Structures are given as structure tokens and as C-alpha cells.
Amino acid sequence: MSSSNKPWTVADAPDQSGRTAVVTGSNTGIGLEVARGLARRGATVVLACRNDAAAAVAEADIENSEPGSDVRTVHVDIGDLSSVAECARRLHDELPGIDLLVNNAGVVAGTRTLTVDGFESDFGINFLGHFALTARLADLITAAPAGRIVGVGSMSHGRRSAALDFDDLQSERSFGRLITYSRSKTASMTFMVELQRRLAAAGSRAISVGAHPGGVRSTILRDQSLLVRIAYSDIVMTLARLVTQTPEAGAQSILRAALDPEVQGAGFYGPDKRWGLVGPPELLATPPGASDPGAGRRLWGIAEELTGVAFAPGAQSPRPDAPVSGAVGPATDATGDAS
């Protein structure tokens, strides 16, 4: 809890005037509420989204609810490594530095589909795309006085089946809607912890932290199956409010990870009421498996090989216009809402 022993809220965060935050997938849902909370505390907020029209609507929405806020947009498709590189180039051109990067964009693929670079969509968007974006922006973040990278995890970490399978990271042999999604989020949190190790080893002032929003009433699963559609029916949703919360409430964990000055590297935040599904953000145990140094090093090497982006925190980031060499497989459209 916060030092006052009261539940933490974004109002407890220090003033963020003069600081710049980039939030991926921030045109709707949790990402939009994270961006709104950052703007409320005075940060300049960059909405990094795939859907430009939706991003413009979100920008106007935040500016209307938070008068005087400084909100901007940048195009990025996290499921397309060339788009990630172009986004990084633009941000280097337009921003003197980045104080906060929130890797929020995500997808739950209903069937096994591929990104434009040939990666399984969950793994490619939830993990690989953000690995590449973080690598390409690392110099802007580590140059900030107190840079911070926030990885967004999931309640699914607790599943035994969520453990990384290095022999089938992209679910080529076995695809399961929730299993594949859960493993992609475990990969994200393994990256979060390994990034903190490497930042600390490099003597960087920047830190890497994680958070999960709990059970949130969002649209990410709404069209995935008959069972889930039933779960979103009006009757069931009335009961579900006991164990789910609004996107605004779910965003609080991510905002605490992003803004609380007491947060330390590799800290992991989420609600702790009703099986961890609802409630104010608290410091939680690191997701199972994410703290294994061997797994962290192995996953890091695989990510560098697949994305073609070398990443050494503390060193100069790869040039934003550097060629992307990680494409594997045929070019097919990614699915899901990773905007």
C-alpha cells in the first residue's frame, strides 16, 4: 500500500509536468484510461496506436476531460516490425526524450494467425513487437532522469499452462486460445524482469516494472467463443461486476507501476481483492517463471534473432532507420485489436 496506508490512486502520484509518456494501444479501454491518468498528472502523452482515426478520437476525448493537457498521436502497428521501426524514427525526430514507455497494446487471437512478419499473433504482438519498440527507444528512455518501462501482464500468469515452452514458443505444434495468450504474457513479464537485470548491470537510472489490470470489463475477449459471449450477456455481467472492474479501475495498477516513486525495478503491481481480480493496486509477487535468469537470457536471445534488433541496455539503441531482418514466413495480416 501507499505510505499513508490508504489505497493508492493516481491522485497520489507526483506532478508529471515536463515528463513525456508513450502508451501503446491507447485509443480505447485500459490503454486510454492509462493515458488519461498520465495526462491528468500533467505529463505530455503520446498515443501510439495502429488505428489513426480512433487515436484522434481518443486524443480529443482526453483533451476534453483534462483541459490543458498535451496529447499527441503516433502511428504504430506493434505486429509489424517495419512499423515499429518507423514509429521509433518519428519519436526520435519529435521528442528530446521519453520518461515513460507503457507497453500496453495486446491481442487475444481466436485462431492461430500470423503477423505480417510471420510470427504467431499473440507472441508477435504481445511480446516481440514491444521488445523491438523498447530496444529502439531505449536511448531516449535511459537518457531521462528517471526513465521507466512498464510491461502489462495478465492474471493468466498463474496458470500452470502459462509456462514458456521454448520448443513451441509460437504455438506451431499446439495452439490454444488462452494458453497461447497466457504464454505470450509470461514472455512479456520474463522480458520485464530480464530488462531490469540488464539495466541494473549497466548502471542505468531507468527501471523496468510490470502490472496487470485484474478482471476488466473490456472487449478483448468478447468475440472469442460462445462461452465468452454468454459471459458478456447482460444477466451474467450484472453478477460479473462482483469480480470485474472498469477499465479506469484496471488502469490504476499500470498507473501505479508507472508513477509511484516508491516502485522499484522488477516490481509487479495488480489488484489483490477477490482472487486478485479487483481492488486498488498493490505490490504482488513476480509472476511464476518470469524471474528465472536462464529463461530470461534465452528468451532475450531468441527475441533478438527473430526481430533482427540487437538490444544492449545502457548502450546506444539501434538506429531507428536500421533495416529489420527478423521477418520469417509468409506475409499475412495480423488479427485482433492491437491498436
- Per-residue pLDDT, averaged over 60-76, amounts to 98
Residue 326: what pLDDT? 37
Cell of 148: 521507466
In the chain, what percentage of residues exceed pLDDT 90? 76
β-strands 71-75, 20-24 pairing: unpaired
β-strands 148-152, 100-103 pairing: parallel
| pLDDT-derived band at 244, boundaries 50, 70, 90 | confident
Separation in Å, CA 70 to CA 41, 205, 232, 234, 251: 11, 26, 35, 37, 20
Residue 322: what pLDDT? 57
If one compares 116 and 277, the residue with the highest pLDDT of the two is 116
- Which residue shows C-alpha cell 509468409? 330
Residue 221: what pLDDT? 46
Determine the Cα angle at 169 with ends 168 and 170, to 5°. Answer: 90
β-strands 207-211, 268-273 pairing: parallel
Decide: 13 and 41 in contact? Cβ < 8 Å.
yes
Task: Name the least confident of 17-21, 276-280, 312-316.
Answer: 312-316
- Per-residue pLDDT, averaged over 285-307, amounts to 96
Decide: 78 and 25 in contact? Cβ < 8 Å.
yes
| pLDDT-derived band at 237, boundaries 50, 70, 90 | low
Q: Is 181 a catalytic residue?
A: yes
Mean pLDDT of the chain: 88
Which ranges of 8-128 would DSSP assign to H, the alpha helix? 29-40, 52-65, 81-94, 121-122
Residue 158: what pLDDT? 60
- Per-residue pLDDT, averaged over 137-151, amounts to 97
Domain ranges of the chain: 15-214+251-307
> Span 15-214+251-307: which CATH code?
3.40.50.720
Residue 49 host element (H or E): strand 44-49
β-strands 71-75, 100-103 pairing: unpaired
- Per-residue pLDDT, averaged over 17-40, amounts to 98
Whether residue 329 has pLDDT greater than 50: no
Task: Name the least confident of 142-146, 155-159, 196-200, 335-339.
Answer: 335-339
Highest mean pLDDT: which of 214-218, 292-296, 323-327? 292-296
| pLDDT-derived band at 320, boundaries 50, 70, 90 | low
Residue 234: what pLDDT? 57
Which ranges of the chain would DSSP assign to H, the alpha helix? 29-40, 52-65, 81-94, 121-122, 129-142, 177-201, 226-231, 234-240, 247-259, 293-307
Task: Name the least confident of 26-35, 241-250, 259-268.
Answer: 241-250
Half-sphere exposure of 212 (CA within 13 A, CB side): 24
What are the tens digits of pLDDT across the range 174-232? 999 999 999 999 999 999 999 999 999 999 999 999 999 998 876 554 444 555 555 45
List the catalytic residue out of 127, 181, 191, 300: 181
Cell of 219: 472487449
Cell of 251: 488502469
Separation in Å, CA 13 to CA 65, 255, 257, 288: 18, 9, 10, 29
C-alpha closest to that of 99 among 137, 153, 125, 72: 137
